[in-house]
Amino acid sequence: MSPKRGDRAAPPPGEGEWDVRFATGEAAKGWEQLSAQAPGNTCAAWVLMRTDPVPVTRTERHHRLKGELAHGTHRGVAMDRWQIEVTAGGRIWYLVDTERRTVWIDYASTSHPKATDR
């Protein structure tokens, strides 16, 4: 059964870990495509979101988005948006709900997001 909006992206979080869930059905589908195309990199991205979604040391492959993309809303709550570059074109964008220690994946795709081409 394919994941859908609201589903967890993996097993429940362990002690001190963050819950990783899909904010949209499209993100869940994109996750499946990324997992098929780059399983190792997608797994590494999941580990980052699960253990260190807001890293102190940012890299070109894992950083907070800028400008109007730096924030998003999920269930009426504004949150910071981060990006992990999974492949040369593939990206995961996620919102960080610090109050609930939940990461909401709101974009996942094997293609480079057009919104950043401005």
Position 79 in a domain: yes
Position 6 in a domain: no
What pLDDT does 1 receive?
63
Position 116 in a domain: no
Alpha-carbon distance of 52 to 10, in angstroms, equals 16
- Reference 68, options 88, 93, 92; nearest CA is 93
Alpha-carbon distance of 12 to 68, in angstroms, equals 31
What pLDDT does 116 receive?
66
Please give the tally of structural domains in the chain.
1
Position 88 in a domain: yes
**What's the CATH code of the domain at 76?**
3.30.2310.20
Alpha-carbon distance of 104 to 115, in angstroms, equals 18
Q: Supply the pTM of this predicted model.
A: 0.90
- pLDDT above 60 (res 118): no
Position 4 in a domain: no
Position 95 in a domain: yes
Residue 12: pLDDT band with limits 50, 70, 90: confident
Segments forming the whole domain that contains residue 37: 19-110
Per residue in 37-72, pLDDT tens?
A: 999 999 999 999 999 999 999 899 999 999 999 999
Between 4 and 83, residue with greater pLDDT: 83
